[in-house]
Amino acid sequence: MANLKEVRERIKSVISTQQITKAMKMVSAAKFRKAQQAIVQLRPYANKLSEMLANILSNLEGDAGTDYGKEREVNKVLIVVVTSNRGLCGAFNTNINKAALHTLEAKYADLYESGKVEMMFIGKKGYDFFRKRVSNVKFHTEHIDLFSDLSFDNVAKVSQQLMDAFTTGEYDKIEVGYGMFKNAAMQFPTMETFLPVPKVEADQDGSSEKAIKADYIFEPDKQSLLEYLVPSILKMQFHKYLLDTHASEHGARMTAMDKATENADELLKDLRIKYNKARQEAITRELSEIVGGAAALEG
């Protein structure tokens, strides 16, 4: 009977857990639709602006230019890690953190050893991961709760801070690690250079389709437009990083909770079979004891 009680308690526990995973799936599904709509609407606009910016900066002539596109010797780097605040979304956060860790230890190994790499965290899971694994790195956590308000104006304050830090020479390069959203089941951990603005480069044979001369008409003049246009595009690009990660988080959690619910169903089936077998064994044992006792009395 002790075995029966144990199995019965396990069944109750799995049913309770399954109710939680179902509820979390429904909550994430509701949030996911809104987050998906936001990134799907923004991405074509942001990608086209980024492409246009890279094209313009790759083909600047004369005295026109912008500080955001100037490449200089990399002596100090900032890595921005964008993750979620909560877990239970599969390997989503872990994949982003591993991509950032690989960049830190492989791409900037020398700067890392000499303490010339700093990290900024947006989302608590990134900070929790790195504070246990790396040393000799200065952490910035002042914007760790940025996901509480993803309005453009609020996010733009952070991107402006990063842009100011780059133009003043505080950092020579700023990279961002985030989750690129594709659909509810697929999210890709991505590392992108935020500053300086990456330029379009031709292939070795010069046949790259992207390496096309920018044929734009500037009004009132090229320099005035660059001073206004470049910061606006960079702020839009940084906003896209967060919306991508936000949609990816809820998609990953929805998928993870759906799988957990299915696994709970399979586990319940096995436990119920086990419970029925144990009950049958108990009944058979009791009947055997009764028959044996009756036979003993007759003898």
Asked whether residue 229 is assigned to any structural domain, the reply reads yes
Phi-psi region of 100 (alpha: psi -120 to 50; beta: other; left: phi over 0): alpha
Asked if 164 is an active-site residue, the reply is: no
The pair of structure tokens assigned to 266 is: 């399979």
The residues that bridge with 134 in the sheet, in sequence order, are none
CATH number at residue 184: 3.40.1380.10
Q: Evaluate whether residue 195 is within a structural domain.
A: yes
How many domains are contained in the chain?
A: 1
Stated pTM of the model: 0.83
pLDDT at 171: 95
Which residue of the set 89, 195, 197, 200 is catalytic?
Answer: 89
The reply to whether 243 falls in a domain is: yes
Question: Does residue 289 belong to any structural domain of this protein?
Answer: no
Residue range of the domain that includes 47: 22-256
- Please give the average pLDDT of every successive group of 10 residues along the chain, which has 299 residues: 78 92 91 91 87 74 68 93 92 95 94 94 95 91 94 95 94 95 90 85 50 64 78 93 94 92 92 87 82 75
Assigned domain for 103 exists: yes
Instruction: Judge whether 199 lies within some domain.
Output: yes
- Residue type, position 142, single letter: E
Per-residue model confidence (pLDDT) at position 65: 63
Q: What confidence score (pLDDT) does residue 201 get? A: 58
Is 10 contained in some domain?
no
Q: Are 256 and 89 in contact (CB under 8 A)?
A: yes
Domain assignment present for residue 13? The answer is no
pLDDT of residue 54: 77
